């Protein structure tokens, strides 16, 4: 394992996951109005719960598990105490989450920190056991539609993926990834068709039957969420194997490299937009899409510019400093220019 080399595909996936997370998070933060029946707003609401809700959050969770394994492994390889560093890292993440949760009740950082500590012993468990245990728990909790409980098995699968070094051998395993993505696509299409059968078309004052139908629509979405997430992640990995697409999608890499900072900034920008334009309780679901696109564009530009001059995002730097109890160099060091008058 190259200790100094970042795995770029993980940054692409983190950035991609953030694009979907904001689309869901903005609704409760801005107190979005209930869609009107037979409106474009209602159509967009159904789109969110079919293709976004629980899909991108799952990718983000899985990647945390992958990062969990890589962090401890690299620390141990460098002669450091990986477990102690991870405990400190999780504690710092929890504290950041405690601040964030005051503004965003549905935030993920505190959950990740707690689950990370709970799953710490699994770092030394055999990769096949982690894989099987993760899959079984995911199926059980998924069938029960326990969204919060799904975090642990998805994270465990991320640890297993790290143990199998899935992301360090993508070119060698591209055919397997393509087959896996294809299988997940077939299952996703079947699952989404089934979920759509229960899609609500009446909003506002609804009957008990319509309420139960809506709840079943949401529950089915939770159950099939990880399958759809796998299709999204697999498709992006396959697209990144095409050089021109990798270049076009490169802003996602910067966005994902600063995932912690951008996750917090998304919340800050949502509140800023809400306060500046009096959006709280006065905005529709469809209009939130336009706000999200604006925030994402600002975030992408900010990330690209910031990383031209600095090695880490602002919160990533703070997280690293608190983890290692040292101040890492922040500014990028330019390579020295070659002087032709010298040897």
Residue 343 has pLDDT above 60, yes or no: no
> Residues of the chain with pLDDT > 70: what percent?
96
Give CA–CA dist 330/327, Å, rounded: 8
Q: What is the mean pLDDT of residues 84-93?
A: 97
If you average pLDDT over residues 270-291, what whole number do you get? Answer: 97
Mean pLDDT of 138-150: 94
pLDDT 10s digits, 152-201: 999 999 999 999 999 998 999 999 999 999 999 999 999 999 999 999 99
Mean pLDDT of 311-317: 97
- pLDDT of res. 341: 38
> What is the mean predicted confidence (pLDDT) over 308-312?
97
């Amino acid at each position: 394992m190259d200790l100094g080399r970042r795995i770029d595909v993980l940054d692409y996936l983190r950035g991609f996951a953030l694009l979907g997370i904001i689309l869901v998070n903005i609704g409760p933060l801005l107190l979005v109005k209930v869609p009107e029946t037979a409106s474009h707003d209602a159509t967009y609401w159904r789109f969110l719960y079919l293709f976004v809700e629980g899909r991108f959050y799952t990718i983000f969770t899985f990647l945390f598990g992958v990062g969990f394994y890589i962090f401890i492994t690299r620390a141990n390889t460098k002669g450091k105490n990986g477990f102690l560093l991870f405990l400190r890292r999780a504690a710092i993440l929890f504290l950041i989450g405690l601040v964030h949760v005051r503004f965003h009740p549905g935030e993920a950082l505190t959950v990740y920190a707690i689950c990370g500590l709970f799953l710490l012993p699994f770092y030394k468990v055999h990769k096949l056991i982690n894989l099987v245990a993760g899959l079984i728990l995911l199926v059980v909790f998924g069938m029960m539609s326990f969204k919060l409980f799904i975090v642990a098995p998805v994270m465990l699968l991320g640890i297993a993926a790290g143990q199998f070094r899935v992301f360090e051998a993508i070119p060698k395993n591209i055919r397997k990834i393509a087959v896996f993505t294809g299988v997940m696509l077939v299952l996703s299409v079947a699952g989404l068709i089934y979920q759509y059968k229960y899609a609500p078309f009446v909003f506002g004052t609804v009957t008990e039957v319509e309420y139960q139908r809506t709840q079943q629509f949401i529950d089915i979405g939770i159950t099939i969420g990880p399958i759809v997430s796998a299709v999204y992640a697999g498709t992006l990995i396959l697209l990144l194997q095409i050089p021109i697409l990798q270049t076009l999608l490169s802003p996602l890499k910067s966005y994902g490299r600063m995932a912690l900072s951008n996750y917090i900034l998304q919340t800050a920008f949502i509140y800023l937009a809400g306060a500046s334009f009096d959006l709280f309780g006065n905005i529709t679901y469809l209009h939130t899409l336009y706000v999200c696109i604006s925030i994402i564009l600002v975030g992408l530009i900010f990330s690209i510019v910031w990383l031209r001059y600095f090695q880490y995002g602002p919160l990533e730097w703070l997280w690293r400093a608190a983890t290692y109890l040292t101040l890492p160099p922040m500014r990028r060091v330019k390579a020295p220019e070659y002087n032709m008058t010298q040897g």
